Amino acid sequence: MTLRTPANRAELLQGTLDMLILRTLLFGAAHGHQIAKHIQRTTQDVLQVEHGSLYPALHRMERKGWISAKWEAAQEGNREFKFYRLTKAGRAQLATQESRWKQLARAIALVMNPASSEE
């Protein structure tokens, strides 16, 4: 893994945000604010997704066919919200990203927590 250039760092961060959004949509359709709040809640306020990052990510993933979107009336009033849903391609992408993330986490853990016999 190389993170020497800003483009690589941005790709890593973008990929992580995409994975978190796809994982959130695995539980069902949601509008943007619900997605951001779910990520914030489930990470115990460690991660806060700004609208300036969230909506470009949602639009990018919609263009890639990983999610679909539809304007619908929300339960809380008569406003319409754009609800996002995971597509079959999105489920496949999530599986790929989760596998890569787990591999990366294992590799980092090996460096951060070396076996006692290796110290």
- For 58, the token pair is 């949602």
Q: For residues 18 and 33, what is the distance between their CA atoms, to the nearest angstrom?
A: 15
Let me know: does 30 contact 81? Beta carbons within 8 Å: no
Task: List, for residues 53-81, the tens digit of each pLDDT value.
Answer: 999 999 999 999 999 999 988 776 778 99
- pLDDT on residue 118: 54
Whole-prediction pTM value?
Answer: 0.82
| Distance between CA atoms of residues 5 and 105, nearest Å | 21
Structure tokens that stand for 101 in this block: 């993330």
- Domain extents for the chain? 14-113
Report the alpha-carbon distance of residue 90 to residue 92 in Å, rounded: 5
Specify the CATH class of 14-113 in words. mainly alpha
